[in-house]
Amino acid sequence: MTPNLQIELRRFISSNVISKLNKFYFENDALLIKAIDVSLGTVLMGCYNNFDEKILEEMTELVQDSAFYKEVDFASSRILSVDENYKLEGNQLLEQIFTSKKARITEMISNEVGIKSETAREVLNFSTLLVISYLKFNAEVTTSLKLLLDEQKRDILNSIPPGIKIILGFSCYETVEEKNNSRFARSIFNLFGNI
């Protein structure tokens, strides 16, 4: 069965992880959860946009030596310890995924979710490490990543606010079109269904 990447990654975000992160940031728990979810989707779509097998392989090799990777229990979908190592370790990976757009994406996460800029930056680092660590551990997912992201693109994009979608190079048209088509279909049914 094909894993839904975003759902698989969300399983690692327990209430324990949120409370440990909040020791650093003092944000509303619900906003912090939303920021992580948005960041996970953003990183996945960043990987989709800049997909390069060689770079992905380099990033997964790089993450294997990180302190973050050693603190993840993949079998039980748990992050054992949350300390500040992800602030530095995630930044290097973000540079490879987003290049010049990283600062704009961070600010947009801050604005769209309603958290501090510093929190948005660190949550994006954290999410990047989680995504790349997951890909390192699940080599079979990594080999078909582009195809998998292509299949799940619409669901992932639905979790990302419009401003971030635009920075990533996606329009909101797909989602709007889908809603309008279903509304149109209901109108036609109502019109002809009563005859």
Q: What is the pLDDT of residue 184?
A: 52
Question: Quick one: tokens of 3?
Answer: 């894993």
Domain count, the chain: 1
Residues 106, 117 contacting (CB under 8 angstroms): yes
Residue 176 has pLDDT above 50, yes or no: no
pLDDT tens sequence across 67-99 = 999 999 998 999 988 877 787 788 888 888 988
194 lies in some domain = no
Mean pLDDT in residue range 49-61: 86
Question: Among the listed ranges 31-35, 36-40, 102-106, 184-188, which one has the minimum average pLDDT value?
Answer: 184-188
Q: Note the pLDDT of residue 179.
A: 47
Is the residue at 12 inside a domain?
yes
For 78, the enclosing helix (H) or strand (E) is strand 78-79
pLDDT at 32 over 90: yes
- 177 has a pLDDT exceeding 60: no
Residue 160's contacts (CB-CB under 8 Å, 6 or more residues apart) are 38, 41, 42, 45, 168
Residue 187 lies in a domain: no
**Is residue 182, in this structure, part of any structural domain at all?**
no
Segments forming the whole domain that contains residue 70: 5-168
Work out the percent of the chain whose per-residue pLDDT is above 70. Answer: 87
Taking 90 as the threshold, does the pLDDT of residue 135 lie above it? yes
pTM across the whole model:
0.84
> Quick one: pLDDT band at residue 178, thresholds 50, 70, 90?
very low
User: For the stretch 24-45, what's the b/e string if a residue is b when 16 or more beta carbons lie within 10 angstroms of its beta carbon?
Assistant: ebebeeeebbbbbbbbbbbbbb
Residue 194 has pLDDT above 70, yes or no: no
Encoded tokens for 33: 């959860």
